[in-house]
Amino acid sequence: MTDADPTSEERIEGTFLVTAADDASAVLKNVESGQVHTLSSNPGVERNDVVEGAVSPDPPMNVSYRLIETVSRRSLSVERSEEPPTANSEEIAASQEVGELTRKPRAGDGEIHVITVPEDDTEAAVDDVLDDEEGLLSRAARLDVNRVEIRSSPGVLAVRYMP
Protein backbone atom coordinates (compact mmCIF):
# COMPACT_ATOMS: atom_id res chain seq x y z
CA MET A 1 0.00 0.00 0.00
CA THR A 2 1.22 3.51 -0.79
CA ASP A 3 0.26 6.83 0.78
CA ALA A 4 -1.51 7.80 -2.43
CA ASP A 5 -3.65 4.65 -2.46
CA PRO A 6 -5.46 4.22 0.88
CA THR A 7 -7.49 1.08 1.35
CA SER A 8 -11.27 1.36 1.49
CA GLU A 9 -11.16 0.69 5.27
CA GLU A 10 -9.02 3.81 5.79
CA ARG A 11 -10.99 6.04 3.44
CA ILE A 12 -13.83 8.02 5.05
CA GLU A 13 -16.23 9.58 2.58
CA GLY A 14 -18.75 12.22 3.52
CA THR A 15 -19.82 15.81 3.73
CA PHE A 16 -17.53 17.77 6.02
CA LEU A 17 -17.93 21.20 7.61
CA VAL A 18 -14.66 23.07 8.09
CA THR A 19 -14.92 24.18 11.73
CA ALA A 20 -11.42 25.68 11.96
CA ALA A 21 -8.68 26.50 9.48
CA ASP A 22 -5.33 28.25 9.41
CA ASP A 23 -2.34 28.15 7.07
CA ALA A 24 -1.00 24.92 8.57
CA SER A 25 -4.07 22.74 9.20
CA ALA A 26 -7.84 22.48 9.24
CA VAL A 27 -10.49 20.68 11.25
CA LEU A 28 -13.31 18.91 9.41
CA LYS A 29 -16.51 17.65 11.03
CA ASN A 30 -18.56 14.97 9.29
CA VAL A 31 -22.06 16.49 9.22
CA GLU A 32 -23.76 13.08 9.36
CA SER A 33 -21.73 11.24 12.03
CA GLY A 34 -20.29 14.20 13.96
CA GLN A 35 -16.81 12.65 13.74
CA VAL A 36 -14.02 15.24 13.76
CA HIS A 37 -10.91 14.94 11.58
CA THR A 38 -7.88 17.17 12.11
CA LEU A 39 -5.98 17.59 8.85
CA SER A 40 -2.17 17.55 8.98
CA SER A 41 -2.13 20.35 6.38
CA ASN A 42 -4.63 22.78 4.93
CA PRO A 43 -5.56 21.90 1.34
CA GLY A 44 -6.95 25.41 0.77
CA VAL A 45 -10.16 25.25 2.77
CA GLU A 46 -11.58 28.00 4.97
CA ARG A 47 -13.74 28.01 8.08
CA ASN A 48 -17.45 27.52 7.19
CA ASP A 49 -16.65 25.74 3.92
CA VAL A 50 -18.42 22.47 3.19
CA VAL A 51 -16.38 19.80 1.44
CA GLU A 52 -17.87 16.68 -0.05
CA GLY A 53 -15.08 14.18 -0.43
CA ALA A 54 -12.91 11.70 1.38
CA VAL A 55 -10.30 11.80 4.13
CA SER A 56 -7.74 9.20 5.10
CA PRO A 57 -5.48 8.77 8.15
CA ASP A 58 -2.00 10.23 7.78
CA PRO A 59 0.64 7.50 8.18
CA PRO A 60 2.51 6.36 10.16
CA MET A 61 0.71 7.39 13.37
CA ASN A 62 -2.79 7.75 11.85
CA VAL A 63 -3.75 10.47 14.36
CA SER A 64 -4.28 13.21 11.78
CA TYR A 65 -5.89 13.05 8.36
CA ARG A 66 -5.43 14.13 4.76
CA LEU A 67 -8.14 15.28 2.40
CA ILE A 68 -7.57 12.78 -0.41
CA GLU A 69 -10.55 13.58 -2.62
CA THR A 70 -12.74 16.63 -3.15
CA VAL A 71 -15.98 16.13 -5.05
CA SER A 72 -17.28 19.62 -4.30
CA ARG A 73 -16.59 22.59 -2.08
CA ARG A 74 -18.78 25.55 -1.21
CA SER A 75 -18.96 28.30 1.39
CA LEU A 76 -21.84 28.65 3.83
CA SER A 77 -23.12 31.76 5.55
CA VAL A 78 -25.46 32.62 8.41
CA GLU A 79 -27.19 35.98 8.54
CA ARG A 80 -29.75 37.79 10.63
CA SER A 81 -32.29 39.35 8.27
CA GLU A 82 -34.13 42.61 8.83
CA GLU A 83 -37.07 41.09 6.91
CA PRO A 84 -39.95 39.73 9.01
CA PRO A 85 -41.03 36.10 8.76
CA THR A 86 -43.36 35.34 5.85
CA ALA A 87 -47.13 35.31 6.38
CA ASN A 88 -47.01 31.51 6.18
CA SER A 89 -44.39 31.34 8.96
CA GLU A 90 -46.50 33.72 11.08
CA GLU A 91 -49.55 31.45 10.57
CA ILE A 92 -47.59 28.36 11.56
CA ALA A 93 -46.28 30.06 14.70
CA ALA A 94 -49.78 31.23 15.66
CA SER A 95 -51.10 27.67 15.41
CA GLN A 96 -48.54 26.10 17.75
CA GLU A 97 -47.65 26.38 21.42
CA VAL A 98 -44.70 28.45 22.68
CA GLY A 99 -41.54 26.36 22.40
CA GLU A 100 -42.80 24.24 19.51
CA LEU A 101 -40.92 23.84 16.24
CA THR A 102 -42.35 23.09 12.81
CA ARG A 103 -40.11 22.05 9.93
CA LYS A 104 -41.39 22.42 6.41
CA PRO A 105 -39.85 22.14 2.96
CA ARG A 106 -39.10 25.46 1.36
CA ALA A 107 -40.47 26.18 -2.12
CA GLY A 108 -37.56 25.07 -4.28
CA ASP A 109 -34.61 23.83 -2.25
CA GLY A 110 -34.11 23.98 1.48
CA GLU A 111 -36.22 23.99 4.58
CA ILE A 112 -37.83 26.45 6.99
CA HIS A 113 -37.96 25.94 10.76
CA VAL A 114 -40.63 27.98 12.53
CA ILE A 115 -40.32 28.32 16.30
CA THR A 116 -42.90 29.97 18.51
CA VAL A 117 -41.19 31.86 21.35
CA PRO A 118 -42.39 34.15 24.15
CA GLU A 119 -42.88 37.62 22.63
CA ASP A 120 -40.68 39.30 25.26
CA ASP A 121 -37.87 36.82 24.63
CA THR A 122 -37.76 36.95 20.83
CA GLU A 123 -34.40 38.75 20.57
CA ALA A 124 -32.82 36.41 23.13
CA ALA A 125 -34.13 33.43 21.14
CA VAL A 126 -32.60 34.84 17.95
CA ASP A 127 -29.27 35.29 19.76
CA ASP A 128 -29.44 31.69 21.07
CA VAL A 129 -30.01 30.34 17.57
CA LEU A 130 -27.18 32.45 16.14
CA ASP A 131 -24.86 31.25 18.94
CA ASP A 132 -25.19 27.71 17.56
CA GLU A 133 -23.47 28.60 14.30
CA GLU A 134 -21.88 25.16 13.92
CA GLY A 135 -25.27 23.48 14.31
CA LEU A 136 -26.84 25.81 11.76
CA LEU A 137 -24.04 25.24 9.27
CA SER A 138 -24.02 21.46 9.77
CA ARG A 139 -27.76 21.36 9.10
CA ALA A 140 -27.30 23.57 6.01
CA ALA A 141 -24.63 21.17 4.74
CA ARG A 142 -26.93 18.16 5.30
CA LEU A 143 -29.73 19.98 3.44
CA ASP A 144 -27.30 20.83 0.60
CA VAL A 145 -27.92 24.59 0.81
CA ASN A 146 -25.52 27.54 1.05
CA ARG A 147 -27.22 30.08 3.27
CA VAL A 148 -29.04 30.26 6.59
CA GLU A 149 -31.23 33.29 7.21
CA ILE A 150 -32.84 34.10 10.56
CA ARG A 151 -36.02 36.18 10.48
CA SER A 152 -38.04 37.21 13.50
CA SER A 153 -41.02 39.17 14.75
CA PRO A 154 -42.42 39.23 18.28
CA GLY A 155 -43.11 35.60 19.24
CA VAL A 156 -41.93 34.15 15.92
CA LEU A 157 -38.55 32.86 14.80
CA ALA A 158 -38.04 31.54 11.27
CA VAL A 159 -34.78 29.80 10.37
CA ARG A 160 -34.57 29.58 6.59
CA TYR A 161 -32.13 27.15 4.94
CA MET A 162 -31.72 28.36 1.37
CA PRO A 163 -29.65 27.77 -1.79
Q: Which CATH class is domain 12-75?
A: mainly beta
Residues with pLDDT less than 50, the chain: 1-4
Which runs of E-coded beta strand occur in 5-155? 12-21, 26-30, 36-39, 49-57, 65-75, 77-80, 101-105, 111-116, 147-153
Predicted pLDDT of residue 2: 40
Query: Can you give the residue ranges of every domain in the chain?
Result: 12-75, 77-162
Say what the pTM is.
0.88
pLDDT, tens digit, for every residue of 32-69?
999 999 999 999 999 999 999 999 999 888 899 999 99
